[in-house]
């Protein structure tokens, strides 16, 4: 064996087992969430004390469970996942079936709607009028990440959802690509197309494919594995270094900053967002949200920051708290933009007080520029 062959063999072996490990994590995460949904539905139907919880069951579960990431909305998502994909039950290996009480499994296997492995949809066009077509559960588990499935269960129409499942599997789409195709009304355009097969061929040539490691970089996988979410979100060494130093800079300002969270995860509707730094200011008695963008300024960034400020106003402010303030920092080579978001604060005198206690715009600009100079030197 030549040296080049040795290198190639080791790299191929590494890639193979890395892909297998990623698949194992994804399948375990997906089946865990499916079984959570299954257990909840079983309790709702047959639990001895189910009446005591009623509509507050999911909230009670979220409060009682000590599992990272399983907030009420995520538990509800697991329940919805179970209802959307009955065919997954029939795809469970014996290892996972052992986690389901046998008397329940036996009852479900006799139900024609559950536990029976349906056949894959033959045509991927939405022109078919059949509604009993499914992608096999085994393919869903092996070909799609749970992040893909989260997007798919938002689609209520079964045929439409099946269409995107097949196209996503066929094109090995990334989650971002799946979202883009749904938003582009690909299903509807295919239904109106005289040659849907040609449209599919053209579309698949232009799509963004998934990197296998994207699965374990997802928020769901990080929480499932007990890792820190922020490690999955900071996109570059530069961003990480800037946030590390910015956090220290704000704390050392001596104006009453207390660090509340870094990469603070918030849920708005059915979508998660992450705030780079969240402080509580003891003197102003308010939250201060800091967003850092290692890129040029874009107008939507102000809208995003104001959304976070309004979220805190609606959900996090205590009765004696003052309105939340947001700070946006944007880099562009050695130029910096600093913007204070004070949306919803009507009292201009109070805004002035904020600006006296918070770091000055010039200080923040100097900080960003100095950090970038050190990074580039």
> Can you tell me the mean pLDDT for 330-336?
72
Alpha-helix runs per DSSP H in 47-91: 57-64, 72-84
Query: Over the stretch 269-292, which tens digit does the pLDDT of each residue have?
Result: 778 888 988 999 988 888 999 988
| pLDDT of res. 364 | 86
Count of CB atoms situated within 10 Å of the CB of 55? 6
155-159, 193-197, 250-254, 353-357: range with highest mean pLDDT: 155-159
| pLDDT of res. 267 | 85
Task: Return residue ranges of the chain for CATH 3.40.1350.10.
Answer: 235-376
Query: Over the stretch 75-110, which tens digit does the pLDDT of each residue have?
Result: 999 999 999 998 888 887 766 666 666 655 555 544
Distance CA 165, CA 144 (A): 8
| pLDDT of res. 360 | 82
| pLDDT of res. 111 | 43
DSSP strand E in the chain: where? Answer: 257-268, 271-281, 286-293, 325-332, 335-341
Is the CATH number 3.40.1350.10 carried by domain 235-376? yes
Tell me the CA distances in angstroms from 361 to 40, 148, 336, 375, one per residue in order.
51, 41, 10, 21
User: What is the pLDDT of the chain when averaged over all its residues?
Assistant: 80
| pLDDT of res. 114 | 41
Distance CA 324, CA 315 (A): 11
> Can you tell me the mean pLDDT for 1-28?
86
Give the rounded percent of residues in the chain with a pLDDT score beyond 70. Answer: 80
Query: Over the stretch 31-63, which tens digit does the pLDDT of each residue have?
Result: 999 999 999 998 888 888 888 888 889 999 988
| pLDDT of res. 102 | 63
Confidence (pTM): 0.63
């Amino acid at each position: 064996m030549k040296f080049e062959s040795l290198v190639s063999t080791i790299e191929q072996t590494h890639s193979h087992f890395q892909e297998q490990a990623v698949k194992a994590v994804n399948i375990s995460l997906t089946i865990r969430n499916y079984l959570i949904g299954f257990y909840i539905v079983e309790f709702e139907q047959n639990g001895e004390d189910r009446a005591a919880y009623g509509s507050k069951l999911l909230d009670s579960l979220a409060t009682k469970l000590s599992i990272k990431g399983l907030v009420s909305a995520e538990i509800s998502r697991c329940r919805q996942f179970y209802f959307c994909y009955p065919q997954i039950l029939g795809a469970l290996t014996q290892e996972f079936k052992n986690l389901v009480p046998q008397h329940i499994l036996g009852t479900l296997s006799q139900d024609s709607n559950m536990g029976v492995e349906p056949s894959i949809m033959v045509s991927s066009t939405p022109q078919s009028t059949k509604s009993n077509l499914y992608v096999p559960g085994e393919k869903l588990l092996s070909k799609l990440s749970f992040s893909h499935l989260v997007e798919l269960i938002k689609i209520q129409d079964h045929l439409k959802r099946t269409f995107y499942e097949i196209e996503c599997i066929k094109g090995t789409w990334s989650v971002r690509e799946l979202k883009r195709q749904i938003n582009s009304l690909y299903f509807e355009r295919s239904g109106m197309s005289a040659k849907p097969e040609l449209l599919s061929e053209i579309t698949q040539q232009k799509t963004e494919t998934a990197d296998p490691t994207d699965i374990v970089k997802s928020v769901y996988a990080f929480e499932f594995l007990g890792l820190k979410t922020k490690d999955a979100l900071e996109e570059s060494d530069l961003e990480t270094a800037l946030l590390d130093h910015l956090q220290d800079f704000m704390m050392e300002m001596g104006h009453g900053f207390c660090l509340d969270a870094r990469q603070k995860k918030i849920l708005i509707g059915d979508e998660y967002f992450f705030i780079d730094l969240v402080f509580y200011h003891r003197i102003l008695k308010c939250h201060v949200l800091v967003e850092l963008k290692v890129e040029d300024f874009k107008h939507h960034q102000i809208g995003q920051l104001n959304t976070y400020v309004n979220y805190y106003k609606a959900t996090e402010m205590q009765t004696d708290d003052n309105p939340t303030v947001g700070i946006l920092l944007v880099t562009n080579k050695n130029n910096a933009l600093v913007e204070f978001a004070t949306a919803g604060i009507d009292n201009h005198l109070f805004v002035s007080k904020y600006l006296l206690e918070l770091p000055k715009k010039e200080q923040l600009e100097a900080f960003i520029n100095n950090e970038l100079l050190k990074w580039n030197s």
